[in-house]
Amino acid sequence: MNILANFLFSGLDLAGLPRFPFMLPLCLSIAIVYKTARCYNLKELPAAALILWVTIVSGMVLVGVGLWVVFTLLA
Amino acid sequence: MSQSETPASIRIPIAGLLAWLVPGLGHLYIGDRGRGLVFMITISATFWAGITVGGAGSTIDPQHRKLWFTAQLLTGAQSLVAVAIHQKAIASYPPSEQTPIIGHWLSIDVGTHYTGVAGLLNLLVILDAIFCADPATRNRLAAANSKGSAAT
């Protein structure tokens, strides 16, 4: 019970690269909710959400790499 | 009077209010069980994952992150529970510490984004519940789908 209380009060200690994977579930959540609202037939949901999730993550990685290249060139 | 016989003028605000109170409950009320359960599980999991990562002591901060807090409030009853945990966490600190930062700043940022996005997603769900609670709209969507023009 104390462990749960500590987690809820103070959270995890994140630093450096381990923070990046946290983007993946958040994007998945956005993709699922958006596609659940949009798809009339729920059977289409898993495939549609997966495609949207891959699109969001790829887009963000591309933007991140692009900005990193620009800042590296400008530095 | 059964739920399907309830006039739209009552059905629509009730669906919106329930959707705010618990994510997905508005859809369950209008009879869209599958969609309601997906919304409920996804948004609640996102919100509580954010609280776990950032800690309620700092992730929910009505004083210093007003805009994020507004977004977090859109998750309804869950955000109120999180506010209660936040108040308890703050109360455990001495009164001299006006802005206690409990936890790592990076975790707090990740947690704030998770909980804020969960609230904004629930806004989409609330609007969808209000939209679908209107029988005329539902019939129009069903007709559009049967013609093969389903929105994806």
CA separation for the pair B52, B44 (Å, rounded): 12
Q: Per residue in A7-63, pLDDT tens?
A: 677 677 777 777 788 899 999 999 999 999 988 888 999 999 999 999 999 999 999
Q: Which residue of B102, B118, B152 is in closest CB contact with A10?
A: B102
**Measured between alpha carbons, how far is B146 from B138 in angstroms, rounded to an integer?**
12
Chain A within 8 Å of B100 (Cβ-Cβ)?
no
Q: Which tens digit of pLDDT belongs to each residue from B36-87?
A: 999 999 999 999 999 888 887 778 888 888 899 999 999 999 999 988 888 8
The pLDDT-based confidence of B101 (bands split at 50, 70, 90) is low
Length of chain A: 75
Rg (CA), chain B: 19
Alpha-carbon span B113 to B49, nearest angstrom: 11
Distance of CA B67 to the CA centre of its chain: 15
Q: Could you tell me if the ipTM is greater than 0.90?
A: no
B138 in A contact zone (CB under 8 Å): no
Q: B73: closest CA among B118, B40, B36, B28? A: B118
Residue B105, min C-alpha distance to chain A (Å): 8
Q: CA nearest B118: which of B76, B83, B72, B78?
A: B72
